């Protein structure tokens, strides 16, 4: 018997990022924060730079927020794999020097980002997914080239939010800008710089974990102290809460720009810190019935 769904679940976020800047890493943390607080759901995570270390980091962060070891994850956690574009980045990112437990040994443990995003979108309610793009639009361009995919995107996605206008500079970006069937909002350069993530937050808000992967990546990215521009975080915040009045929109039609609302500056930064530093919500493994009985008998 099927039960009627009372309401749609929170918006599903497809996060496709190069994972080359610290704001990508902070946005990834925010996404897990939103997911833990049931304000959004992680639909898919793709790494467009082809950096295997970045994909491993994304997987390690998944385990961190689930409170699971790779062994427990293999037994109990079930989520789509990380997407990883073909090719390698020119240089290794210093952000991923620290190694964390993860389930990715090589590229076979990741998915083609186009296929991954397609599969993830098929599991979303209509108009209940948003795509956050930070970095080149190559994965999304490939998605549009897949058979029948433009229709799926139009049906499932309500918004594409890009962290950087630079994404539209190359042929893949131009294709996405021209053919993407939903509204596109691009974060303005000034906005990301005007709303920096406060570096001082690391020492207090992330201190709950000894080796917090996000905090360690932040420290490894640049000599401390520094505040980080927030393009990807702004894109994610708008994708999750487009009607919450965090930002203003310039222009009109289906291609618009996200701009700063000076009155919302503190509120936005508070939201960044709150979500990026949200504590993990550990996975509760389901015990076999007889183990439950034993526990109850104690």
Partner 1 sequence: MITKKALPRRTFLRGMGTAVALPFLDAMAPALAAAKNSAPPVRMAFVYVPNGIIMQGWNPDYEGPLHELPRILKPLEPFRQDITLFGNLTHNTGRALLDGAGDHGRCCASYLTGVQPRKSVTNIKAGVSFDQIVANHVGKQTRFPSLELGMEDARQAGDCDSGYSCAYTNNLAWKSETQPLPPVLDPRALFERLFGNGTALTPAARARENLYRRSILDFISDDTRKLETSLGPTDRRKLDEYLSSIREIERQIEKAEQVNAQIDPHMEKPYGIPADFAEHFKLMTDMMTVAFQSDLTRVITFLVTHEGTSRPYREIDIPDGHHPLTHHRNQPDLIEKVTQINSYHMRQFAAWIAKMRSLREGDGSLLDNCMIVYGAGLSDGNRHLHEDLPTLIAGRGGNHFRSGRRIVYRKETPMCNLFLAMMDRMGIHVEHFGDSTGRLDALDLT
Task: List contacts with partner 1 (CB under 8 A).
Answer: 1-3, 75, 78, 80-81, 107-112, 114-116, 118-119, 122-125, 146-147, 288-289
Are the CB atoms for 240 and 40 separated by under 8 Å? Answer: yes
Question: Minimum Å distance from CB 124 to partner 1?
Answer: 8
Tokens coding 90: 């020119």
In the chain, DSSP assigns E strands to 12-17, 41-47, 83-84, 129-134, 157-162, 184-187, 248-250, 255-259
* Pick 44 or 184: Cβ nearer partner 1: 44
Closest Cα to residue 162, out of 10, 11, 9, 14?
A: 14
Question: Minimum Å distance from CB 283 to partner 1?
Answer: 14
* Pick 58 or 162: Cβ nearer partner 1: 58
Question: Minimum Å distance from CB 230 to partner 1?
Answer: 31
* Pick 88 or 222: Cβ nearer partner 1: 88
Question: Minimum Å distance from CB 224 to partner 1?
Answer: 36
* Pick 33 or 113: Cβ nearer partner 1: 113
Q: How far apart are CA 173 and CA 193, in angstroms?
A: 23
Are the CB atoms for 46 and 82 separated by under 8 Å? Answer: yes
Beta bridge partners of 250: 257
Those residues whose C-beta lies under 8 Å from the C-beta of residue 44, and which sit 6 or more positions away, are 14, 15, 16, 80, 83, 116, 117, 119, 120
Question: Minimum Å distance from CB 70 to partner 1?
Answer: 15
* Pick 43 or 162: Cβ nearer partner 1: 43
């Amino acid at each position: 018997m099927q039960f009627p769904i009372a309401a749609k679940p929170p918006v599903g976020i497809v996060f496709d990022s190069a994972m080359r800047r610290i704001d990508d890493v902070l946005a990834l943390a925010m996404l897990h924060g939103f997911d833990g607080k049931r304000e959004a759901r992680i639909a898919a995570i793709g790494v467009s730079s082809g950096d295997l270390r970045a994909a491993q980091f994304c997987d390690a962060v998944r385990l961190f927020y689930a409170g699971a070891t790779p062994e427990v994850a293999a037994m109990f956690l079930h989520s789509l794999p990380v997407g990883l574009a073909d090719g390698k980045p020119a240089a290794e990112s210093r952000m991923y020097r620290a190694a964390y437990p993860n389930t990715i040994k090589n590229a076979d443990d990741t998915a083609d980002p186009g296929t991954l995003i397609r599969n993830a979108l098929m599991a979303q309610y209509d108009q209940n997914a948003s795509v956050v793009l930070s970095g080149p639009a190559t994965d999304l361009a490939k998605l549009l080239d897949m058979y029948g995919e433009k229709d799926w995107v139009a049906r499932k996605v309500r918004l594409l939010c890009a962290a950087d206008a630079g994404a539209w500079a190359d042929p893949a970006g131009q294709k996405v800008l021209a053919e993407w069937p939903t509204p596109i909002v691009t974060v303005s350069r000034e906005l990301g710089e005007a709303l920096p993530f406060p570096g001082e937050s690391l020492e207090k808000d992330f201190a709950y974990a000894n080796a917090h992967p996000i905090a360690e990546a932040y420290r490894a990215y640049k000599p401390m102290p520094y505040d980080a521009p927030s393009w990807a975080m702004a894109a994610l915040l708008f994708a999750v809460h487009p009607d919450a009045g965090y930002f203003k929109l310039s222009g009109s039609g289906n291609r618009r720009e996200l701009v700063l609302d000076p009155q919302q500056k503190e509120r936005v930064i508070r939201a960044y810190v709150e979500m990026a530093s949200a504590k993990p919500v550990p996975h509760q493994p389901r015990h076999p019935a007889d183990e439950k009985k034993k526990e109850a008998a104690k």
